[in-house]
Chains A and B, each alone.
Chain A
Amino acid sequence: MGLLYSLLSLAALAAFSLAAARFARLPAPAAPFAALCAVMLWLSAAGMLGVLVPAGWALFALAAVCAALALAPAGRKAAREALAAPGFAAFFVLAAALLCFFAWRQPMFTTWDEFSFWGTAAKIVKESGQLYVNAEIGWDWVGSHRPALVVLGYFFQFFGPYAEWRVLAGYDVLLLSIFALLTAGAPRGAWRRVVPALGFGFLLPFLLTLYGNVSRPVDLYASALSDIPLGLTFGAAMAVSYADRRRRLWPAALALAALCLQKDTGFAMALVAAGILGADAVLGALAEKRGARAAGAALAKAAGLFACCGVSFLSWQYYLAAASTADTTNVGGVAQMGMAEMVLTGCRELLGIGRTEKFTAVMGGMVRNLFGVTTTLLGPFAVTAGLTVALAAAAALFTRERALRRQAGVFAVLGLGGFAAYFFFIGLTYVYVFRSEVSDGLIGFERYMYPYLLGWLLAAAALAVRAMDEERPAGLVQTGFAVLTAGLAALVWLRVPYTLTCFGGGDGVYAERRATQALAREVQAVVPRGEHIFFVSQGDDGSRWFLYTYEMYPWYLDYSGRTGQGGGGTFALPGALPEDTIYYHPYTAGELWAYLQESGCRYIFIENCDELFVQGYAGLFAGGLENCQNGPAVYACNEAAGVYEFVCNVGGAA
């Protein structure tokens, strides 16, 4: 039934897309992306206002109205025209096929960040019908990441039960809509343009997030992390404008607003995109000599783009301030600076004023990484930047359309500037925010850089595809782009074994997840909902705690430790381990008992017990901890006796 309900969501998207194509005269292949951005904004706003579920019903009611309009005799012509656009038809065929495939394949979350936030947030929203900021969950912090992608997953499982594959499919449908908008100008039957455009988009995540010969399973297209959708939405915000010969900016404004609600760094990228599009609008009005009024209107539209970014970005800040205790002004980190202070300090050091050794080391390392370290299948990030500029240059050189030449030039110049600014901004976070063990090794450098490059390269491809409309000489850009895409496809095929992807991989990669899922169900079966559960898994670095927090929700898994030092770890008597042991909880038996009583944890789930735990705390358990030798166990508090009593073993040991 989950498949049918998700197909219903896809049908709603189709209805919105047909309405956008008919009433807003948007190019049909660009309509699904615009519609999804509108959905993300609608549900994000509704979530912030506390009316997520009613807003969802309103959305599907509106979809029914749009569907009725599309099927009515007056709307059928527009619907037929939309379906005749190969990119539009291809999008819905591929999206439906993807939903069917995921319903059969049942991909699951596999990475730490999916359990520490993205996946858990999706589950919270579905199960509670509200955003996650004030969720009843054992996090010791406020979930302050932005909601657009989380509510996107909610849209695709508004009806029916929660399922991870439905969240993952929602993300992929967004990506497919972005690839489809690259085909916006392709006439009917022009598969020589549509197939390379879709293929180029599909290959981008492989090209920019992997490197070398891949020998481990990759979770591309089966991940709830935000980096890839963020980067591609950044590119799509520009591409949706380039794909529209009328060069309207409102679809881009929708995309930029959605981008600002996907992740904090989306705001920086949105400003770059707004700058590029705004400059293009103003320069276009001046170059085409449409008069001062037109130039003023273009300037106003450019300002409107920035306003959209600001309103969207700040809306979440205000919501957090009103709804939670999160400090939204401080970027945190080692320097405890505000955002503006960080940028100003960084600019001063860049100019040599009070430059620190750390600044020099970090920036120097980043530049070396940019040019000398292989971080993509194409080589260093500099190669990707070069390919982007080359595509834009090709679009400018091989088109007869003057407006496109100007657009490509503005894109290349300002895009490079934007890249430099983004690169500098990431460097500042390494200098002022991250701990030294992270900044010394530039840990995560690739992950912070590739979103910008993904979007930038996608937008360059949109320019190249647009150039095919009026290319000179005829056939050159179409053939060149097809050959380029074929070459990139061959590169991916040679470096990434098909059986390591979510499309060709086996179920074995989810074996452990299925085991922990089954174990969590057994715990839920014996613990009444609403009770707090204390978690023990000796040797845990936090990953088991995050995993079970997710699996058990909406059952409440306690933070299981003191503020800032819980969420997994090793419990032992003081002195049993060196004090600086990571994730060591040095409790006496009395302290542990007091914590359990204060936190209201009437149940304890011991996934992994060891000698240290037995030596320290066996006295708190009736009969000691002998039952833990049989495997994971659940204990319940007998307050009168002042001990925890054995309930059952779980996970096959029962």
Chain B
Amino acid sequence: MRRWLERAARHKMAAAYALALVLWALCALGCAGWDAAGFATGRLRTVQLPLAELPAQDIALDQNGNWVTTGGDPQWQLAPDQPVRSVRLSTTAPAAGFEGYYGRAGQAPSLRRRVWAQETAAGEVLLVFPLGTGQARLDPAGGAGVAVAAGAGAVLTVNAPLPLWQYFVPRGAAGPALALAPALAAAVWDLGALWAGLLKKRRTADTENKE
């Protein structure tokens, strides 16, 4: 163990990133396990919410039965009686335009709590939210006149089970944290080692002076 620590101390940056990757993997597995337990116990349920029943802004059903944006800030609000982990929607609009805002129940939307949609299949977008999301807001393609879903009976699928690899994708602030935190940790570790050495040197010098 001591040898490992000495080796790690000689290669602090590599050790910090290696540790970060291991912790990230454990975190991802932990989240996957937590969700699996949630599905097993009923804490999480896959539900389909009709778009017609969701509080909406700047989105309306047109005469052709398509959901079309009518203003500059189209959005659907989701506040189901369960945590929100994912939202899937079949759509004719490009996935690039979709974004999701998340937060605890009652929390106002924030640019800091935002995720981007992925296209999982032709015509389907997926948004994945972090643990602890009590409410979410789905913003489809901005601007008026964009058709985002077809059919009066179109639905959102909330909390469809995610494939395991999705848990390993950093979202939101997790991205910069994974990229930067190990470097910061290595720097702090190195600074701590510097001060430990300086203090040891001073103690030794003090001891020698007393003698």
- Are B194 and A192 within 8 A (Cβ)? yes
How does the 8 Å CB contact mask read for B1-15 relative to A, with 1 for contact and 0 for none? 000000000111100
Number of interface residues of A (CB under 8 A): 26
Tell me whether A72 is interfacial, beta carbon within 8 Å.
no
Q: How far is the CB of B20 from chain A (nearest CB, A)?
A: 14
Contacts of B198 in A (CB 8 A): 474-475
Q: B111: nearest residue on chain A (CB-CB)?
A: A497
Complex CA distance for A474 and B114, rounded to whole angstroms? 44
Residue in A189, A474, A479 whose CB lies within 8 Å of B10 = A189
Tell me whether A215 is interfacial, beta carbon within 8 Å.
yes
Q: How far is the CB of A188 from chain B (nearest CB, A)?
A: 10
- Are B112 and A497 within 8 A (Cβ)? yes
- Are A504 and B175 within 8 A (Cβ)? yes
Complex CA distance for A619 and B209, rounded to whole angstroms? 103
- Are A508 and B194 within 8 A (Cβ)? no
Given contacts A191-B13, A511-B94, contact A499 B190 (CB under 8 A): no
- Are A189 and B116 within 8 A (Cβ)? no
Tell me whether B141 is interfacial, beta carbon within 8 Å.
yes
Tell me whether B49 is interfacial, beta carbon within 8 Å.
no
Tell me whether B183 is interfacial, beta carbon within 8 Å.
yes
Given contacts A192-B187, A475-B198, contact A506 B111 (CB under 8 A): no
Residue contacts A-B, CB under 8 angstroms, 18 given? A189-B12, A191-B12, A192-B187, A475-B194, A475-B195, A475-B198, A478-B194, A479-B195, A498-B112, A498-B172, A498-B173, A499-B112, A504-B175, A506-B96, A507-B96, A508-B98, A510-B96, A511-B96
Given contacts A499-B111, A511-B97, contact A192 B190 (CB under 8 A): yes
Tell me whether B142 is interfacial, beta carbon within 8 Å.
yes
- Are B111 and A482 within 8 A (Cβ)? no
Contacts of B11 in A (CB 8 A): 189
- Are B111 and A189 within 8 A (Cβ)? no
- Are B176 and A508 within 8 A (Cβ)? no
- Are B116 and A478 within 8 A (Cβ)? no
Complex CA distance for A511 and B97, rounded to whole angstroms? 7
New A-B pairs, 18, CB < 8 Å, besides A474-B198, A482-B191: A189-B10, A191-B183, A195-B186, A196-B187, A475-B198, A478-B191, A479-B195, A498-B172, A498-B173, A498-B176, A504-B176, A506-B99, A506-B116, A507-B97, A507-B116, A508-B98, A508-B142, A511-B94
Contacts of B142 in A (CB 8 A): 508, 511
Q: How far is the CB of A480 from chain B (nearest CB, A)?
A: 11
How does the 8 Å CB contact mask read for B171-188 relative to A, with 1 for contact and 0 for none? 011011000000110111
Contacts of A86 in B (CB 8 A): 13
Q: How far is the CB of A503 from chain B (nearest CB, A)?
A: 7
Contacts of B141 in A (CB 8 A): 508, 511
Q: Determine which residue in B97, B183, B187 has the highest number of CB atoms from chain A within 10 A of its CB, and name it.
A: B187
Q: B173: nearest residue on chain A (CB-CB)?
A: A498
Tell me whether A500 is interfacial, beta carbon within 8 Å.
yes
How does the 8 Å CB contact mask read for B104-126 relative to A, with 1 for contact and 0 for none? 00000011101011000000000
Q: B139: nearest residue on chain A (CB-CB)?
A: A508
Complex CA distance for A474 and B99, rounded to whole angstroms? 50
How does the 8 Å CB contact mask read for A490-533 relative to B, with 1 for contact and 0 for none? 00000001111001101110110010000000000000000000
Q: How far is the CB of A92 from chain B (nearest CB, A)?
A: 14
How does the 8 Å CB contact mask read for A180-196 relative to B, with 1 for contact and 0 for none? 00000000011110111
Q: How far is the CB of A42 from chain B (nearest CB, A)?
A: 34
- Are B187 and A500 within 8 A (Cβ)? no
Number of interface residues of B (CB under 8 A): 32
Complex CA distance for A508 and B187, rounded to whole angstroms? 36
- Are B99 and A508 within 8 A (Cβ)? yes
Contacts of B10 in A (CB 8 A): 189
- Are A195 and B116 within 8 A (Cβ)? no
Complex CA distance for A511 and B94, rounded to whole angstroms? 9
Q: How far is the CB of A118 from chain B (nearest CB, A)?
A: 25
Q: How far is the CB of B103 from chain A (nearest CB, A)?
A: 14
Q: How far is the CB of B108 from chain A (nearest CB, A)?
A: 14
Complex CA distance for A194 and B11, rounded to whole angstroms? 14
Chain A's interface: helix, strand, loop or mixed, by majority? Answer: helix
- Are B97 and A191 within 8 A (Cβ)? no
Contacts of A194 in B (CB 8 A): 187
- Are A503 and B176 within 8 A (Cβ)? yes
Given contacts A504-B175, A507-B96, A508-B142, contact A499 B187 (CB under 8 A): no
- Are B99 and A479 within 8 A (Cβ)? no
Q: B9: nearest residue on chain A (CB-CB)?
A: A189
Complex CA distance for A475 and B142, rounded to whole angstroms? 52
Complex CA distance for A500 and B176, rounded to whole angstroms? 13
Q: A483: nearest residue on chain B (CB-CB)?
A: B191
Complex CA distance for A499 and B183, rounded to whole angstroms? 21
Q: B176: nearest residue on chain A (CB-CB)?
A: A498
Residues of chain A in range 162-211 having any CB-CB distance to chain B below 8 Å: 189-192, 194-196
Q: A497: nearest residue on chain B (CB-CB)?
A: B111
Complex CA distance for A475 and B198, rounded to whole angstroms? 8
Q: How far is the CB of B181 from chain A (nearest CB, A)?
A: 11
Contacts of B186 in A (CB 8 A): 191, 195
Q: A216: nearest residue on chain B (CB-CB)?
A: B111
- Are B191 and A479 within 8 A (Cβ)? yes
Q: How far is the CB of B156 from chain A (nearest CB, A)?
A: 19
Contacts of A474 in B (CB 8 A): 198
Complex CA distance for A457 and B129, rounded to whole angstroms? 40
Complex CA distance for A474 and B198, rounded to whole angstroms? 8
Contacts of A507 in B (CB 8 A): 96-97, 116
Q: Determine which residue in B10, B96, B99, B111 has the highest number of CB atoms from chain A within 10 A of its CB, and name it.
A: B111
Contacts of A190 in B (CB 8 A): 190
Q: How far is the CB of A408 from chain B (nearest CB, A)?
A: 23
Complex CA distance for A196 and B184, rounded to whole angstroms? 8
Q: A214: nearest residue on chain B (CB-CB)?
A: B111
Complex CA distance for A514 and B195, rounded to whole angstroms? 53
How does the 8 Å CB contact mask read for B59-95 relative to A, with 1 for contact and 0 for none? 0000000000000000000000000000000000010
Contacts of B13 in A (CB 8 A): 86, 191
- Are B97 and A508 within 8 A (Cβ)? yes
Contacts of B191 in A (CB 8 A): 192, 478-479, 482
- Are A508 and B96 within 8 A (Cβ)? yes
Q: B189: nearest residue on chain A (CB-CB)?
A: A191
Complex CA distance for A215 and B112, rounded to whole angstroms? 10
Contacts of A504 in B (CB 8 A): 172, 175-176
Q: Determine which residue in B96, B110, B141, B175 has the highest number of CB atoms from chain A within 10 A of its CB, and name it.
A: B96
Q: A213: nearest residue on chain B (CB-CB)?
A: B111
Complex CA distance for A474 and B183, rounded to whole angstroms? 23
- Are A499 and B114 within 8 A (Cβ)? yes
Q: How far is the CB of B179 from chain A (nearest CB, A)?
A: 9
Contacts of A192 in B (CB 8 A): 187-188, 190-191, 194
Complex CA distance for A474 and B201, rounded to whole angstroms? 11
Complex CA distance for A474 and B187, rounded to whole angstroms? 17
Q: B195: nearest residue on chain A (CB-CB)?
A: A475
Contacts of B188 in A (CB 8 A): 192
Q: How far is the CB of A313 from chain B (nearest CB, A)?
A: 39
Q: B191: nearest residue on chain A (CB-CB)?
A: A192
Complex CA distance for A2 and B129, rounded to whole angstroms? 33
